[in-house]
Structure 1
Amino acid sequence: MASTTSTDVLPAGCRIFTTVPDLCFLPEFVFGGLVWILVASTRVYPDNPLGWVMFVSVFCFVMTTLWIFIFLCGANQSSIWPTLDVAYHFIAAVFYLSASVALAYITFVRGRATLQPAELLKNYRLDIAAVVMSYVATLLYFIHAILSGIRWRRS
């Protein structure tokens, strides 16, 4: 009879690419990187809200990269890692949600100008793409947090 308690709560190595919550790693990585690239490629005005968007996208990109390497190396086998996994992805979802709202507001305000030179129109379109990617990244982190929470409760 199989044991219901397992010390191998979180996947390690290449198994992270086959488990349900951890399948979100690569899309989070890709969409977060796209937000970073799209916001960085436009004129950062006003500084304060877009600075927060850049911080969130770079922070989550770096932390997700670190998280993937921790999981790939198998250093996540301690009993505290399921809790850390839920906490990180929930915090990332909240950060991305706040950054997405700020970015959407700034993009909306920029789009209200009726006459736009070609350069401003290009930046506006890049900002719209960044808003969409930011909300997709928010959704991915939120789904990952929920699925990691379910996995945590089962352990």
Structure 2
Amino acid sequence: MSSATTGATLPTGIKVLASFPDVLVLPEFVFGGLVWILVASTKVAVTMSQGWVMFVSVFCFVISTLLLFLYMCGAHCGKSAWVAVDAFYQVTASIFYLSAAVLQAYTTYMLRNVGLHKTYQIDIAAVVFAFAVTLTYVIHMVFSLLRWKAS
């Protein structure tokens, strides 16, 4: 998870948190966790769309945590397939979060006149953070794909 300009290998240890785009895992955790918390704290009105948002936020949080720990422990050392795994995950997470952000925005828009002002404000915050985490995953995806191409 290092920049494509510094080579096509993933860093190990604490260097994971000191290299770009890998440092983006921190805002991905924060923004993704906020989406998870905000959607969970409201009354879920549309179970299918908000259920997808919850699935995406929990799934990406768990897989990102797992990959971070594996990279920090050096489980990927000497294995070139991990660069492809990282790129594949970033593409998947970007697509998942884009779909979740759009669904959350649509659900929030449809529920704007229900009369629950506080819930509506929380849903708006969830939409903002869903698009913020989507942006961080897309940036991470672009640099992961560049690293994969260079490997």
1:25 match: 25
Q: Deviations over 1:91-150 (max 9, x none)?
A: 000000001111000000111x1x72xxx1111000000000000111111110101111
Aligned match of 1:65? 65
2:151 is aligned with 1:151: no
Match in the other structure for 1:92: 93
SS of the counterpart of 2:111? Answer: helix
Specify the code of the residue in structure 1 equivalent to 2:81: I
CA separation in 2, counterparts of 1:95 and 1:68? 19
- Say what the alpha-carbon RMSD is for the aligned residues: 1.4
Q: Encode CA deviations 1:29-86: one digit per residue, 9 max, x unaligned.
A: 1110000000000001111110000000000011111111011101122110000101
The amino acid of 1:48's aligned partner reads M
Match of 1:3 in 2: none
Partner of 1:123: 119
Aligned residues: 144
Q: Greater CA radius of gyration, 1 or 2?
A: 1
- Residue 24 of structure 2 aligns with an amino acid whose one-letter code is C
**Rounded Cα–Cα distance in structure 2 between residues aligned with 1:21 and 1:87:** 15
The one-letter code matched in structure 2 to 1:131 is V
Measured after TM superposition, the shift of residue 8 of structure 1 is 7.9
State the identity as a percent.
51
Structure 1: gaps of 5 or more residues:
1-6
Amino acid aligned to 2:102: V
Which of 114, 128, 131 lines up with 1:135 in the alignment? 131
- The one-letter amino acid paired with 1:56 is V
Q: TM-score, normalised by structure 2?
A: 0.92
Distance in 1 of aligned mates of 2:139 and 2:8? 22
Aligned AA for 2:66?
L
Gap runs ≥5 in structure 2: 1-6
8 Å CA contact 2:38, 2:123 repeated in 1: yes
